[in-house]
Structure 1
Amino acid sequence: MKPTANGPRTVSASDLLDRLARRPVVLLGERHDSASHHRWQLATLQALQARSPDLSLALEMVPRRLQPVLDRWVAGSLEERAFLDALDWPAIWGYDVDLYLPILRFARDRRLPLVALNVERRLVRRVRAEGFAAVPVSEREGVGPAAPASAAYRALLHRLWQHHPFVPSSGQGVPGQEDPSFGRFVESQLLWDRAMAEAIADQRRRRPGAPVVALIGNGHLAGGHGVPHQLQALGLKEVDWLLPWEASLGCAPLQPGLATAVYGVVSPPPAGLRLGVYLETHGGRVEIQQVAPGSLAERSGLRVGDGITAIDGQPVSSARQVIEWLAAHPVGRPLGLTLRRDGRLLRLQLALPGL
């Protein structure tokens, strides 16, 4: 489905894949802890590789210093356990490796070149604390200055920034976009976007005739503000990005420019309660990204941008934890939600009629 100015338009998956296989760069979004998103990525990757066998696969999950480990894995010189140990997956990424293993095995079996896209988290934290200009060039891991963020991206990042624990408190609400701390936060996000874009561009220069397919979190792709914007600033104008879209959300929230196309995916319903929200995890925070029309969440007043901090008094730090708590929630008992909204904590008791 393609979001257009006249509303979403359904397109043939086969026709779309035929076109994408001829493009130099295709970016596949994900929610990092969603099994259905990773299954969609694998199916899309398989379809693209069947049409363009020489493509490379680039990974947000892996910092650049571990490129030799990826090379050895693809060459078949590392067994799986040794490969994961060499990556130290829990330290570099932290999300369930079983969600990614089918993709990594496919790349090895097809001998697809793998490309590490990321920088070290400590560099991102340093830029967030000090600003990009304060980091010596020799300590920037080769990343150059980013193209400035658009006004729309800054507005989006400001909304996300409000929920971070390091936001300064002035006693007068959340600081505005002119706050220096927010400026450094934007620079840290741009560093991330730019690093991935430069690594993709470098791979295109090394293998000019071969497409690059990259797996990157939705937040770096939606609206084209993040990695696509940086790629275009680097001269790569033909960039497409696809987003997985929970079918339960429907088409109403789709906006023009959100993505080249979105693919409807169906996540297995939990055994218990469903709120009707699309969640993402950002640095130990669970944020509502979409609210399904007519859902329990909409009827209860939940909003896009709300952060879920606790369920029934128990702290949660990932979307998966929220899903598991909802699945285990006792039938017929009100659901206690603690939300962070605009810098304030809200405690709600959701009545669950019909359960």
Structure 2
Amino acid sequence: MRSLPARLLSVRPGGLRTILPAAVALALCTAGALAQEVQRTGCVPPGIWADGTGAAVEPVPLLRRIADSPVVLLGEQHDRPDHHRWQLHTLAGLHALNPDVAVGLEMLPRRLQPVLDRWVAGDLTEEEFLQQTDWRTVWGFDPQFYLPILQFARLHRLPVVALNVERSLISRTARNGWSAVPEAEREGVGTPAAPSADYRARLREALAAHDRSESQADPASSAGDPSTRFIEAQTVWDRAMAEKIAETRRVTGRLVVGILGEGHAAHRDGIPHQLADLGVADSVVLLPWDADRDCGELDGRIADAVFGLGVEPRENAPPPPKLGVQLGPAPDGVAVSTVSDGSVAAAAGIRAGDRILNAAGSSLRAPADLVAIIRRQAPGTWLPLTIRRDGAEQELVAKFPVQAR
């Protein structure tokens, strides 16, 4: 599936009625015109589908081919609204060609499947759904990003499947290793396939960016090495979702469309690698491609196809409060990889390499936890933080300006 042609539907937000006409209109574009547009604007122009090398291609053949695939993984960066709009329109386009679709969500753990079933059946309001899933705690990112996808699934009575496991299982693996988790407490997750060398290297690089002291870890070291446990935790996480996807495909026979973080799918590592080990070798990976993204990442393997996005317009509403950091997962708390100059975080004394363990009295287990707390922060208020730096814990206070920035 490396050479799938790729370009999908260009639809205005909320314009589901235009999906099929848009596909027909786009299909009339010539390959020469597309090539000229790519050459003129660079990497992947907005509204254009391209293959994994950045070469523009036609949408209709892509849709027709992947609509017959067993699994399509739609990657996202969780806090980017346009990524979720793209996911919705891609899902709708696939559904137009193959109505036998099931939607898999990274956002919820398996124990909440009964709530998803009640949602699809029309038995819950949005407010009831968010309450019964404890969305703000379990996931944390803005539910308005995901509710249109959930509404689409309910409208068409598509099964929606909770792919994830409890965060505590992944955190426990990161702390102690998978072998230390008793089989009865593994939520049914089996033994993962060994990750590729490239995936290990990327995960080690990610962890090293968070904590330079671990960047010197020996790749052949024992399970006591934090980076080894971190890789093992990520692999277990990928395996858990892959198993649920494979089970849904096997039981329902439907095309399973996964809504999940890009890191679980890019380069066909993570979930696609585990799916192949489970006998689903021909999954498809599709990714949104932001206007400011490095074209050098288009190495031919990052995805089967990418869709160019423009710069997101500013909303009239005041922007939400921001700490001004780039965050990543860590065996404990959340890791700070970069701190923006002049940001709230910089003023509070937060540094790259710190781990934020606690915010406003709540322990942090994933970046989404901190994002959710910050989004509830009113302008002009203070947010107490507990960080770990050089092995020692410190208390800091982030002071948000009267006008959020």
TM-score grouping bracket, smaller chain normalisation: 0.7 to 0.9
Q: Which residue is equivalent to 2:77?
A: 31
2:68 match: secondary structure: coil
Q: Which residue is equivalent to 1:125?
A: 171
* Pair 1:54–1:3, CA change in 2 (3 A): closer
Structure 1: state its 5+ residue gaps: 272-278, 287-306, 325-339, 341-355
> Are the equivalent residues in 2 in contact too, given 1:285–1:308 (CA < 8 A)?
no
- How many residues end up aligned between the 2 structures? 289
Per-residue Cα deviation, 1:92-133 (whole angstroms, up to 9, x for no partner):
111111111111111111111000000100000100011001
1:47 match: secondary structure: helix
Report the Cα distance in structure 2 between the residues aligned to 1:9 and 1:226, rounded to whole angstroms: 25
Residue 189 (1) aligns with residue 219 (2)? no
Q: Which residue is equivalent to 1:139?
A: 185
> Are the equivalent residues in 2 in contact too, given 1:2–1:259 (CA < 8 A)?
no
Tell me the C-alpha RMSD between the 2 structures: 2.6
> Are the equivalent residues in 1 in contact too, given 2:326–2:338 (CA < 8 A)?
no
Picking from 285, 288, 306, the partner of 1:244 is: 288
Q: Which residue is equivalent to 1:89?
A: 135
- For normalisation by structure 2, the TM-score amounts to 0.67
> Are the equivalent residues in 2 in contact too, given 1:201–1:231 (CA < 8 A)?
yes
Deviation at 1:265, TM superposition (A): 1.2
Picking from 290, 312, 323, the partner of 2:342 is: 312
1:249 match: secondary structure: coil
Matches within 5 A, 1:1-355: 1-3=49-51, 7-164=53-210, 169=213, 174-179=216-221, 180-208=225-253, 210-249=254-293, 251-270=295-314, 281-283=327-329, 284-285=334-335, 307-315=337-345
* Pair 1:186–1:102, CA change in 2 (3 A): same
* Pair 1:187–1:138, CA change in 2 (3 A): same
Per-residue Cα deviation, 1:193-232 (whole angstroms, up to 9, x for no partner):
0000000011011112x11000110111110110000000
Report the Cα distance in structure 2 between the residues aligned to 1:140 and 1:216, rounded to whole angstroms: 21
Deviation at 1:2, TM superposition (A): 4.4
* Pair 1:85–1:145, CA change in 2 (3 A): same
Amino acid at match of 2:226: S
2:103 match: secondary structure: strand
Q: Which residue is equivalent to 2:40?
A: none
Deviation at 1:281, TM superposition (A): 4.6
Report the Cα distance in structure 1 between the residues aligned to 2:175 and 2:58, rounded to whole angstroms: 46
> Are the equivalent residues in 2 in contact too, given 1:194–1:230 (CA < 8 A)?
yes
Amino acid at match of 1:53: P
Deviation at 1:3, TM superposition (A): 4.2
Per-residue Cα deviation, 1:43-80 (whole angstroms, up to 9, x for no partner):
00011111111200000001000000000000011111
Deviation at 1:89, TM superposition (A): 0.4
Deviation at 1:176, TM superposition (A): 3.5
Per-residue Cα deviation, 1:246-301 (whole angstroms, up to 9, x for no partner):
13336443111110101111231559xxxxxxx97534456xxxxxxxxxxxxxxx
* Pair 1:269–1:248, CA change in 2 (3 A): farther
Deviation at 1:175, TM superposition (A): 2.5
> Are the equivalent residues in 2 in contact too, given 1:157–1:186 (CA < 8 A)?
yes
> Are the equivalent residues in 2 in contact too, given 1:2–1:261 (CA < 8 A)?
yes
1:102 match: secondary structure: helix
Per-residue Cα deviation, 1:152-196 (whole angstroms, up to 9, x for no partner):
00000001111346x8x48xx643423422111111000110000
> Are the equivalent residues in 2 in contact too, given 1:3–1:258 (CA < 8 A)?
no
Amino acid at match of 2:143: V
Report the Cα distance in structure 2 between the residues aligned to 1:76 and 1:313, rounded to whole angstroms: 44
Residue range with higher mean Cα deviation, 40-49 or 251-260: 251-260
- For normalisation by structure 1, the TM-score amounts to 0.76
Amino acid at match of 1:309: V
1:216 match: secondary structure: strand
Report the Cα distance in structure 2 between the residues aligned to 1:65 and 1:285, rounded to whole angstroms: 28
Amino acid at match of 1:116: A
> Are the equivalent residues in 2 in contact too, given 1:25–1:240 (CA < 8 A)?
yes
Identity %: 46
